[in-house]
Amino acid sequence: MYTKKKYSIRDMVRWTRKETRFFLIFAGIVTVLFEVVELTWLQLPWTPIALVGTAVAFLIGFQNSAAYERQWEARKIWGGIVNNSRTWTMMVRDMINNQHATEGKSSEELKEERRILVHRQVAWLSALRYAMRQGKPWEVQARHKANREWLEMFNLPELNIPLEEELARLMSPEDVAYVMSKKNKANAVMTLQSQHIRRLKDEGLIWEFSFLEMENVLREFFTLQGKSERIKNFPYPRQYATLGYDFVNLFNLLIPFGVVPEFWKIAQELEVTYPGFGGFFVWLAIPFSAIVSWIFNTMQRIGTVGENPFEGSANDIPITTMARGIEIDLREMIDEDQETIPEPHPPVYDVQM
């Protein structure tokens, strides 16, 4: 839902601070048991650990690649929505006229018909983005404490403003009541659009060929809506997501048992050259183990939050910002008063909603 200008290491550490604390504490316990308690049998050879790490790296790479593909597809879909919304408004503006009308309407009446159709298009965008924001059982964004902190900072409109209230500023009370009575709100809005232009065609306010072209645009909206719903409703395969999570945790548990003995060996060699100082080198295994575990864990979490591009994380598709941008463009295209057009959503912490 968002795009961020840049991510700093500080942001990532804050995002993963809970796991980082665990990695440091766990590596510290293993080091104390090995160095202080002298349980030197608490060690594993590097070969099996490296093999596990290699398998985990391939799995994480596959997961991140698949997650990026889902995000990129979602971005292309909403890019298509942007372009077709402008095309729709252009048709509404130029193809609704008295040229073939049996009974002509005044310029104000024609303007009102255009306004209703354009505002209803914005309502469709609202209904669709609200549907994309609804939680699914497999989505994890709102479950993790650190992710919830980001969501609270962003203060997403879809999570704080009822859909009915959003639609009420764009459609008549009768249309709002009709849409809210349906399960698929976006479908209901498109149904009203088709019925409206059919009525205008019957009145001769839209030429029959123009009517067919406008119906084709509505059909394209249905296609884009279906593609967006497909990404939302079809999760990244759970077997890959679950195994990736478990394998990363297993690898992170193994790391200290391979790192600490290696640092201990180096410490023994340094103690010969630097008596009284070299022995302390073994304690550097704690931050080193934590850093390796943090890298693997962070990459796995990036892939996890990227699986579902409409949840609302800082790396998701910014559909709230995009919908507001489309609304501004469409309402300007029909020459609405600038004072009635809403302002763009400002970025929050360099993140677009």
Residue from 320, 139, 182 nearest 190 by CA: 182
Structure confidence by residue, pLDDT tens digits, 169-211: 999 999 999 999 999 999 999 999 999 999 999 999 999 999 9
Q: What angle do CA 333, 346, 67 make, to 5 degrees?
A: 95
Place of tokens 């971005």: 75
- Per the model's pLDDT, the better-predicted residue between 116 and 147 turns out to be 116
**Cβ pair 69, 306 in contact under 8 A:** no
Which residues share a beta bridge with 351?
A: 4, 348
Structure confidence by residue, pLDDT tens digits, 120-171: 999 999 999 999 998 888 776 666 666 666 666 777 888 889 999 999 999 9
Residue type, 221: F
pLDDT higher than 80, residue 73: yes
Residue type, 260: V
Report the alpha-carbon distance of residue 156 to residue 4 in Å, rounded. 15
pTM more than 0.95 = no
Q: Which long-range contacts (CB under 8 A, 24 or more apart) does 202-211 make?
A: 203/101, 203/102, 203/103, 204/100, 204/101, 204/102, 204/103, 205/96, 205/97, 205/98, 205/100, 205/101, 205/105, 205/110, 205/113, 206/95, 206/96, 206/100, 207/95, 207/99, 207/100, 210/91, 210/95
Residue type, 107: S
Structure confidence by residue, pLDDT tens digits, 272-327: 787 877 778 888 999 999 999 999 988 888 888 778 888 877 778 899 999 999 99
Q: Give the number of other CB atoms < 10 A from CB of residue 182.
A: 13
Q: DSSP letters along 45-113, please?
A: -HHHHHHHHHHHHHHHHHHHHHHHHHHHHHHHHHHHHHHHHHHHHHHHHHH-SSTT-SS---HHHHHHH
Structure confidence by residue, pLDDT tens digits, 244-274: 888 999 999 999 999 999 998 888 888 778 7
Report the alpha-carbon distance of residue 152 to residue 89 in Å, rounded. 35
Report the alpha-carbon distance of residue 252 to residue 292 in Å, rounded. 8
Place of tokens 């095309």: 87
Report the alpha-carbon distance of residue 155 to residue 152 in Å, rounded. 5
Estimate the crossing angle of helix 17-35 against helix 285-306, to 10 degrees: 150
